[in-house]
Structure formats: C-alpha cells, structure tokens
C-alpha cells in the first residue's frame, strides 16, 4: 500500500467517529466557553457580549458556592470510603471466605442496577415514620427523624446510596489485580517472617497502586458526573443542602432556562474534570506502577 492510500484509508475510517466526537464533545465544550461570555438569548434577541459578567454572577451566587462545597464534601465522603470498602471486599472474596460466589454477587449487584432504581428503593428506606431506617431505629427507641428532609442529614443519605452502589464496581478491579499478584511473593514474605499486615502494607498495597489510581480517577469523575439520585431523592433540597454542581447546572439550564449562566457553571465543572485528568497524567508520569 502506498503512503497516500495509507493516509486516505486512515482518515476515511476515522471520519465518522471524528465527526460525531467533534459535534458532541469538542464543539459543545468550546461553545460552552464562548457562551459563558454572552448573555442568555431571550426570544428573538440573540445573546450579546457581556465579558465576565456570568462569572461575576457565579462568584456572587451563594447557591453556586454551596453546590460546589456540597460536591466536594460528597466526593470526600464517598470516594475514600467506597475505595476502602472495595479493597476490603476484594480481599475477602479473593480469600477463602465461605460462600465466596454468593458474596461476590451480593457486592456486585448494585452496580448493574440503574441509579434511578437504586434511588427509588432507598427513598422508601428513608421515608419518615414509614421507612425501614425509621422502623429499625424506633425499635432501639430513637425518635423519628426526617432523613432526607433535614439539612444536616440529607447529603449524608445520598452519600450512603452512592457508596452502596459503587463499592462493588470498584471491587472487581481490585479483585482482578489481586488475582494477578504472584503467590510466590507471599511465600517469600512468609519465609522472611513478615506479618500478614506487614505483607499487605509493604507488598500487596504498593502492587495495587495502579488499580487504586484507576479507581480513584473513576470515582472522582463519577462524583461530579452522576446526579440521578439527587433528581429522584431530594431535587437538591432541602434548601439546596444536596445540590451538586451538575444538578445545579441542570436546574439553571432547564428549570430557569438561563443558558449563559449554565455555561459559566459548566466551565467550572469542566475545569474540575480537567484537573482530575492532569492529576492522573502527573501520577502516571511518576510511575505509580511496578511492571
């Protein structure tokens, strides 16, 4: 094949995918930036250049700051916990616990369910007086509490749902990694007299580092990408206590139809995702893997 035909084949085969990517990823990302400097078009009046006004509005908007803070707390509350649980689950089902297959199934099943279904089920759990959480707590003599209706507990309730749904997903990556670790390492360490905990901390955990990084990046993305449960369970309430960034964008964009302000908000979200990408590259550069 001549060089020219190589080029032609390469480009032609890439064309359909590239066109769709350009139309639904690169164009909208660029257009978001552009539109964040314009005002929202109203009726037949197109948007006009307003410079940084939308960003000024963002800085002055307490709800934005709350959504951002909520999202950071949400990330902080769900990511380490679900990763730790995932590792624990993987270690357990990789070992010789009785009923291993069934356990693996139990841990993994929430992953296959749609977040919206999961949210519906948990919504029922949290229902005041009637829900299971209430029933169990009242059996222990606790007074009733509106879990999703009070500002202090609503975000925590959403975090529980997210951890329940995601830990099993991360577990399988750890499981795959654990199964690829040679048993000779453990034998050698045992001959050297290393304790179980020491072996985990000094050998297993470092070997799992690439997996941890992969899972971490995914967890960060999911913490900012998935707001289905917010829509179903709280609609951002009470009093914006559970509004996450993407949910707030959805509200501004499709409840108040303020597309210019939504564009500025989306830029913040894109910046956060971009930072996550940079962090990943930085870690990979520093060779967090041992192969």
Partner 1 sequence: MTHVYAARGGARVVETAGAWTLGLLWLLPLAYAFWTAFHPTEFSTRFVLTAPLTLDNFAKAWAAAPFARYFVNTVLLVTMVLGAQLVLVTLAAYAFARFAFPGRGILFALVLVQLMVMPDVLIVENYRTMTLLGLKDTILAIGLPYMASAFGIFLLRQTFKGVPRELDEAARVEGCGPLAVLWKVYVPLARPVYLAYALVSVSYHWNNFLWPLIITNSVESRPLTVGLQVFSATDQGIDWSIITAATLLTTAPLLIAFLLFQRQFVQSFMRAGIR
Considering only residues 39-78, where is the footprint of partner 1 by CB under 8 A?
Answer: none
Least distance to partner 1, CB of residue 59, Å? 20
- Strand locations in 51-208 (E): none
Backbone angles phi, psi at 49, to 5 degrees: -60, 125
d(CA 133, CA 125): 6
Contact with partner 1 (CB under 8 A) among 256, 277, 282, 287: 277
The answer to whether the CB of 25 falls within 8 A of the CB of 37 is no
Sites for partner 1 among residues 247-266 (CB under 8 A)? 249-250, 253-254, 259, 262-263, 266
- The single residue among 2, 16, 141, 286 that binds partner 1, judged by CB under 8 A, is 16
For residues 138 to 157, the per-residue mask of contacts with partner 1, x marking binding by CB under 8 A and - elsewhere, is --------------------
263 vs 285: CA distance, rounded Å = 32
Stretch that binds partner 1, among 46-54, 58-66, 72-80, 188-196 (CB under 8 A): 188-196
Task: Give least dist CB 118 to partner 1, A.
Answer: 8
Dihedral sign, CA of 242, 246, 249, 250? negative
Question: Is residue 225 at the binding interface for partner 1, with CB under 8 A as the rule?
Answer: yes
Asked if 95 touches partner 1 (CB under 8 A), the answer is yes
Q: How far apart are CA 287 and CA 280, in angstroms?
A: 11
Tell me which of 74, 126, 147, 169 binds partner 1, using CB under 8 A.
169
Is residue 45 helix, strand or coil? strand
Q: Which of 72, 137, 231, 288 binds partner 1 (CB under 8 A)?
A: 231
Which residues are CB-contacts of 177 (< 8 A; sequence separation ≥ 6)? 90, 207, 208, 210, 211
By the rule CB under 8 A, 83 interacts with partner 1 = no
Is the Cβ–Cβ distance between 126 and 84 less than 8 Å? no
Q: Contacting partner 1 (CB under 8 A), which of 50, 63, 81, 270?
A: 270
The one segment of 60-68, 76-84, 143-151, 164-172 that binds partner 1 by CB under 8 A: 164-172
């Amino acid at each position: 094949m001549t060089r020219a035909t190589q080029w032609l084949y390469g480009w032609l085969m890439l064309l359909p995918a590239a066109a769709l990517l350009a139309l639904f990823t690169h164009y909208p990302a660029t257009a978001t930036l552009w539109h964040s400097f314009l005002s929202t078009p109203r009726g037949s009046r197109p948007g006009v250049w307003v410079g940084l006004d939308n960003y000024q509005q963002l800085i002055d908007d307490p709800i934005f700051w709350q959504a951002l803070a909520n999202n950071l707390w949400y990330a902080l509350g769900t990511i380490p916990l679900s990763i730790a649980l995932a590792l624990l689950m993987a270690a357990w089902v990789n070992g010789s616990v009785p009923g291993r297959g069934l356990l693996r199934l139990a841990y993994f099943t929430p992953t296959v369910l749609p977040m919206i279904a999961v949210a519906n089920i948990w919504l029922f759990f949290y229902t005041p007086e009637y829900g299971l959480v209430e029933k169990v707590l009242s059996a222990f003599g606790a007074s009733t509490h509106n879990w999703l209706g009070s500002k202090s507990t609503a975000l925590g309730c959403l975090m529980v749902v997210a951890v329940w749904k995601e830990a099993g997903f991360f577990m399988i990556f750890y499981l795959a990694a654990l199964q690829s670790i040679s048993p000779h390492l453990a034998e050698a360490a045992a001959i050297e007299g290393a304790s179980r905990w020491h072996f985990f901390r000094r050998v297993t955990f470092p070997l799992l580092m690439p997996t941890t990084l992969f899972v971490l990046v995914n967890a960060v993305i999911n913490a900012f990408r998935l707001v289905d449960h917010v829509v179903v369970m709280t609609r951002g309430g009470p009093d914006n206590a559970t509004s996450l960034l993407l949910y707030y964008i959805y509200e501004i964009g499709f409840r108040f139809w303020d597309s210019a302000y939504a564009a500025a908000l989306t830029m913040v979200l894109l910046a956060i995702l971009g930072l996550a990408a940079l962090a990943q590259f930085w870690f990979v550069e520093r060779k967090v893997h041992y192969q």
